[in-house]
Amino acid sequence: MGKVIAVDGPAGAGKSTVSKIVASKLGFTYIDTGAMYRAVGLKLLQSGKPLTEKFLAEITNDIEIKLDESAKVFLDGVEVTKEIRTPEVSKLASDVSKYGFVRKKLTELQREMAAAGSVIMDGRDIGTQVLPNADVKIFLTASLKERARRRFEELKAKGQTVNLADVENEIALRDKQDSTREIAPLVQAEDAILIDSTDMTIDEVVEKILLQSNSYKLQATS
């Protein structure tokens, strides 16, 4: 049985960035669950059809989502790592995550991945719903303005034309949707360690997570 680190938190908190580094240092597999919801949102977008419960159930039923060791995302056999990182797909990812059948399908896939070896998994409900028995639970956050700035810089670096105010509004909306949805809302698990990364460097956040992991003597096992 492998070891598990669960990292939850709002959009733009830096979960993916630090989780990838921690995974590399510990020899764990990194699993970006948010990318899986984005993949569902992208499939909906590509269909050109409006979001209805019936249609979403249809595309979710036969969807194939895979993440490789380098964190590339594949949707129905096609790599979509870049395509899932647009503001439009971000919004749809939040929309589809409200549906219980979507969460059930992806939660099953995520638990299967965790059972295959030692993992660090990030998302919105990993420590509370997906892997409530995780060895270490982290709740990573930052101020809204700082998270918006980070996401803005990330999108700009990828060549996308974005406006900082629009990015901040989109993240604020995502926060509201994620924290108020009826099914598996974004909340800090009671036994999670809170890390506010607003004024921290990436290395400082990584070091803090590694210290917690070392205190639990976590080592990669298969």
Q: What confidence tens digit (pLDDT) does each residue in 72-82 have?
A: 999 999 999 99
Q: What is the mean pLDDT of the chain?
A: 91
In the block, which residue shows the tokens 């899986």?
36
Is 203 a member of any domain? yes
pLDDT for residue 218: 57
Is 101 a member of any domain? yes
Is 222 a member of any domain? no
Look at residue 177 and tell me whether its pLDDT is greater than 90. Answer: no
Is 33 a member of any domain? yes
* Separation of CA 76 from chain center: 19
Q: Which of 101, 135, 104, 105 is nearest to 118 (CA)?
A: 135
Calpha distance 56→19 (Å, rounded): 30
pLDDT for residue 1: 54
Q: Which of 116, 142, 114 is nearest to 130 (CA)?
A: 114
Is 196 a member of any domain? yes
| Cβ neighbours around 127 below 10 Å, total | 28
Is 221 a member of any domain? no
| Structural domain total, the chain | 1
Tens of pLDDT along 38-55?
Answer: 999 999 999 999 999 999
Residue type, 110: Q
Calpha distance 22→14 (Å, rounded): 12
For 38-66, give one letter per residue: b (16+ CB within 10 A) or e: bbbbbbbbeeeeeeeeeebeebbeebebe
DSSP-derived letter for residue 130 is I
Domain span at residue 152? 4-215
Residues paired with 123 in a beta bridge: 8
Residue 176: in which H helix or E strand, if any? helix 164-180
Is 73 a member of any domain? yes
93 band by pLDDT with thresholds 50, 70 and 90: very high
Tens of pLDDT along 110-169?
Answer: 999 899 889 999 999 999 999 999 999 999 999 999 999 999 998 899 888 889 999 999
CATH code, domain with 45:
3.40.50.300
Is 205 a member of any domain? yes
This prediction has a pTM of 0.84
